[in-house]
Amino acid sequence: MTEQRYLPDEDDVTEFEATVTEVGDDFLVLDGTYFYPEGGGQPADRGELSWGGGRAAVTKVRKNHGDVRHYVEDVDGDLPDPGDGVRGDIDADRREAHRRMHTAQHVVSRVVLDEYGAETAGNQIHADRSRIDFEPADFSEDDVDRIERLSNEAIERDFEVTKAERPREQAEERTEEGRALLDLIPDHVDPLRVVEIESFDYCPCGGTHVDSLGEVGRVEITNRKSKGEATERIEFVLGEA
């Protein structure tokens, strides 16, 4: 069992120490980690693990039941043993890009739900570009301009972003219909980690996020395309914060 230490609100930490609990052929499991494992449309963090007598690049991070596996490449020296201490260094630029992108996705998803009643059916974040699929939706070019403008207006207001654990019952009550796929979260998960953007948005989510909207930068929608009868895909990039 790996403690996911960036939860609920330490998603700005990129350096840490931990203890090895399992050593696989090409992965290490730690008692706790700040590395984000791939999931929820957000890629894993990358970085490095080092220990007395060795180091390795972390190229992939995956959840495996309750464990987080840090897949390693370019290993110098022998892998550590269970019980050994390691130091983790997360690629901070990539982490920061994912935090900004993921929070931007929440802003755009909120604007589209409020203005067009469309749900976020899927999303994929990258460090340099992201996309969101909305259903049911059929946006015009004017709609896209409007979504971009309203998203940037919210970002300019620099709302505070709070990340906290909330009792599941409360989180389910407060999450607006269509804002999150709560049915996909197993029943036993309680409390839920919730990302709240002041009065603007409330959404259960395990991703890494900024602490205030001003850190996001300007949303620029670069493409819109139809992905089926009632599904629209919006792609966006971010300008500097």
Interface with Zn ion (CB under 5 A)? 205, 207
In angstroms, what is the minimal distance from the CB of 209 to Zn ion? 7
CA dihedral angle for residue 24, residue 30, residue 35, residue 39, rounded to 10 degrees? 60
In angstroms, what is the minimal distance from the CB of 178 to Zn ion? 14
In angstroms, what is the minimal distance from the CB of 60 to Zn ion? 21
Closest CA to 231 of 122, 124, 157: 122
**42 vs 51, beta carbon nearer Zn ion:** 42
Closest CA to 36 of 209, 169, 229: 209
In angstroms, what is the minimal distance from the CB of 154 to Zn ion? 16
**47 vs 207, beta carbon nearer Zn ion:** 207
Angle between helix 141-156 and 92-116 (nearest 10): 120
Cβ-based burial of 122 (10 A; exposed 0-12, middle 13-18, buried ≥19)? middle
In angstroms, what is the minimal distance from the CB of 107 to Zn ion? 11
In angstroms, what is the minimal distance from the CB of 44 to Zn ion? 15
**Number of residue whose CB is nearest Zn ion:** 205
**20 vs 108, beta carbon nearer Zn ion:** 108
- Cβ within 8 Å of residue 96, ≥6 positions away: none
**37 vs 207, beta carbon nearer Zn ion:** 207
From residue 187, give the alpha-carbon distance in Å to each of 101, 118, 182, 183: 28, 25, 9, 8
**29 vs 101, beta carbon nearer Zn ion:** 101
**79 vs 161, beta carbon nearer Zn ion:** 161
**Tokens found for residue 212:** 């205030």
**Nearest-angstrom CA–CA distance, 137 and 118:** 6
